[in-house]
Chains A and B, each alone.
Chain A
Amino acid sequence: DAKTTQPNSMESNEEEPVHLPCNHSTISGTDYIHWYRQLPSQGPEYVIHGLTSNVNNRMASLAIAEDRKSSTLILHRATLRDAAVYYCILRSKETSGSRLTFGEGTQLTVNP
């Protein structure tokens, strides 16, 4: 799977929007962009994924650049519970199996 680059840490205030960037300049046409997050003392949990179009779900939105070399996870109103490490992961649809390759992720701090 291709490599992603994320900032080590970001900070936000409660109830404000948060934009978490991810660069993936070597992304291929068959790579989906997945986001997982890991809350303290828990296993990772799925957040959202997409291929080309922007995606929305109850947790977040995913904005994908037109050239697909970058994407942004958007939390519309951060809460204290959103403090976690956020991982941006590329998954090729041609890859067999469920293996996830985690990078270092972005540690999000939410201030009250």
Chain B
Amino acid sequence: KAGVTQTPRYLIKTRGQQVTLSCSPISGHRSVSWYQQTPGQGLQFLFEYFSETQRNKGNFPGRFSGRQFSNSRSEMNVSTLELGDSALYLCASSPDGFSQETQYFGPGTRLLVL
């Protein structure tokens, strides 16, 4: 099976713009989670989607949003970008999102906000 894929891998935006990142989970996986990784804050959970519904949400402002499609592919959107949004954005998938399931991570999208 192909692994989790994320596009694009690298992105440069300017403050005030918006950005959409894409994640394709492993075939058959229905749960997709998103994480932000920065040197200062480490890996932080953004949100999880399961069967096109947001099931869990981390402590991030409303500028961060996401959605999941019927084929389980997911997108996350960040509006009105700030310099502090520069980070590695990772998505992870699992079959059903049960707490003991292994999470499979993609390689991430590195976003730089200028």
Contact = CB atoms under 8 A, between A and B. Distances in A.
A81 B31 CA distance: 29
A16 interface: no
Interface of B: 4, 31, 33, 35, 42-45, 48, 50, 55-56, 58, 90, 92, 94, 97-108
A49 B97 CA distance: 16
| Residues of A contacting B: mostly | loop
Contacts, number: 74
Interface residues of A, number: 25
22 contacts: A36-B103, A42-B107, A42-B108, A44-B43, A44-B103, A45-B104, A91-B99, A91-B100, A92-B99, A93-B99, A95-B99, A96-B99, A97-B99, A98-B48, A98-B94, A98-B98, A98-B99, A98-B103, A101-B45, A102-B35, A102-B42, A105-B42
A96 B42 CA distance: 23
Nearest to A95: B99
Given A97-B31, A98-B97, A101-B45, 12 more contacts: A42-B105, A42-B107, A43-B105, A44-B92, A44-B103, A45-B104, A91-B99, A92-B99, A99-B48, A100-B103, A104-B42, A105-B42
Interface of A: 32, 36, 41-46, 49, 87, 91-105
Contacts of B33: 98-100
A98 B43 contact: no
B97 A103 contact: no
Contacts of B108: 42-43
Nearest to B58: A99
A95 B4 CA distance: 24
B11 to A, nearest CB: 16
B105 A44 contact: yes
B90 A44 contact: yes
